Chains A and B, each alone.
Chain A
C-alpha cells in the first residue's frame, strides 16, 4: 500500500527535476527518507513526514513535511531549497496518493559548521511544509 512517504519521494524525484534540471543536481539515490549516511556524497536531500492528523470529516489528512537539503556550501543549500520550493513542490497524484495542497510554513538555512577535529559539517537548508493529502 502506498504511503505518504513514498508519495513525497515520488514527487521529489519525478521527471528528473532534481537529478538533472536542478541548479544543484541531486541524483535520485541521494533523495532519502529520514537520514543520509554520514559518508555519502553531497548534495543530498532528506525528507521526513511527522504528525499526520485527520483534516476533514472524511478522508483528507494533514501532515507536517520537513525537507532538508544538504550541500557543501550555504549558497548551494539555499539555491537547492529555493528550487524545490518553486519547481518541485506540486500538487497531484503520486504513487496513488492524492496531494491536495502544499503550504510552505518556514525555511531555515544553516551555515556549515566545524565538527569535532578539523572536518567541516555540511550546510543545510530546511523547508517545513503542511501537506493535505488523501490515501
Chain B
C-alpha cells in the first residue's frame, strides 16, 4: 500500500491549480431512506440522494485569476469547475456553487480566506 504526501495535491479552479492553497477538503455524502417494515427487528435502509461540499483555506491574493474567480462566483452564484487531485491519477471532479467566502485579517499575520462550495451534479472520481 502506498502512502502519499501532499506534494502531488492541487485544487484546480476552471482547469488551473489554485495558488496559495493552505488546505482543502472534499466531503461526499449520500442520504439514506428508511425502509424498515412492521415486524422487522433490524432497521433497513436504501441509498438516497448523493451530495458533497468542497472547502479550503488559502492566502488571499485578488490579483490571482483563480482566487478572483472564486470571489466573483460567490456574488454571481455561478457554478465553478473544481478538480481536486490527491495524487497522480486520483482526482475528484465536480461543479460547485461557492456558498461562503470569508477573508480574515489579524495583527502580525497574513491575509487569509476560508471558502466553501456546494457540489451541484455528479462527482466524477478518477
Contacts of A89 in B (CB 8 A): none
Contact A103–B22 (Cβ < 8 Å): no
Contact residues, A49-67 vs B (CB, 8 A): 55-58, 60
Contact B110–A58 (Cβ < 8 Å): no
Closest to B9 in A: A57
Contact residues, B13-45 vs A (CB, 8 A): 17, 19-24
- Among B10, B19, B23, B24, which residue has the most Cβ atoms of chain A within 10 A? B19
Closest Cβ of chain B: how far from A127's Cβ, in Å? Answer: 12
Contacts of A60 in B (CB 8 A): 20, 59
The verdict on A46 contacting chain B, using a C-beta distance below 8 Å, is no
Contact B19–A58 (Cβ < 8 Å): yes
Q: How many residues of B contact A (CB 8 A)?
A: 16
Contacts of B10 in A (CB 8 A): 57-58
The verdict on A101 contacting chain B, using a C-beta distance below 8 Å, is yes
Closest Cβ of chain B: how far from A131's Cβ, in Å? Answer: 10
Once bound together, how far apart are the Cα atoms of A36 and B10, in whole Å?
Answer: 43
A-B contacts besides A56-B21, A57-B22, A101-B59, 9 pairs, CB < 8 Å: A55-B22, A56-B22, A57-B9, A57-B11, A58-B10, A58-B20, A60-B20, A104-B108, A130-B110
User: Can you spell out 8 A-B residue pairs with CB atoms less than 8 angstroms apart?
Assistant: A57-B9, A57-B11, A57-B23, A57-B24, A58-B10, A60-B59, A130-B108, A130-B110
